[in-house]
Amino acid sequence: MTSEKVLIGKIINAHGIKGDVKIKSFTTNPCDLCNYTPILKQDDTELKIKLRSKSNSDVIIASIENIDDRNKAETLKGTELFTLKTSILSNDDEMLLSDLLHFKVLDNNENEIGEIIDILNFGAGDILEIKLYNKEKTALISYNKHSILNQNKEKGFVKIDTEHLLES
């Protein structure tokens, strides 16, 4: 596969007796997972997935072509689902949160203060972990409109409001 793959979901269990599966979706709108093409397993095998219903905030019920009984569906438990990055982004200006890894971090005065080394999410929103250049430690900042003043994909930087920076 020449294009970069992006993890969009994971089959967490079988559902019912007709081969449906429960999928934990990692997309903003869980139901959108079924709209991406192609949907691939880790080995690049393509799956044809059709939405049946949404069961809770991030889990959907779906059918998979050629999976018509519970036993077959159970063999897919734990299968990660991917799509091509080009299927998600509609233009060159868009980017995924994961694209921010290794971006330079600028403060309010546009001084380079660090580099993004990780992106965390514990359920309440995305958090950037920053390796501070002038210190032997990292800092955290919420990824939201109050904390992130600007980001530039082309130049590879994120400008932050240091008032929201949490240092350890």
From first to last of its 168 residues, what are the pLDDT tens digits of the chain?
Answer: 446 888 999 999 999 999 999 999 988 888 989 999 999 999 999 999 999 998 668 899 999 999 999 999 999 999 999 999 888 776 666 778 888 999 999 999 999 999 999 999 887 788 999 999 988 889 999 999 999 999 998 899 999 999 999 886
pTM: 0.69
For 19, 22, 51, 63, 119, the CA distances from 68, given in Å and listed in that order, are 4, 14, 15, 8, 38
CATH architecture classification, 97-167: Roll (2.30)
Residue 29 pLDDT:
86
The CATH superfamily assigned to 5-88 is RimM (2.40.30.60)
Contact of 72 with 65, CB cutoff 8 Å: no
Residue 98 pLDDT:
83
Domain boundaries, the chain: 5-88, 97-167
Contact of 21 with 64, CB cutoff 8 Å: yes
Residue 2 pLDDT:
47
Helices (H), 44-84: 70-74
The token pair that represents 33 in the structure block: 């997972």
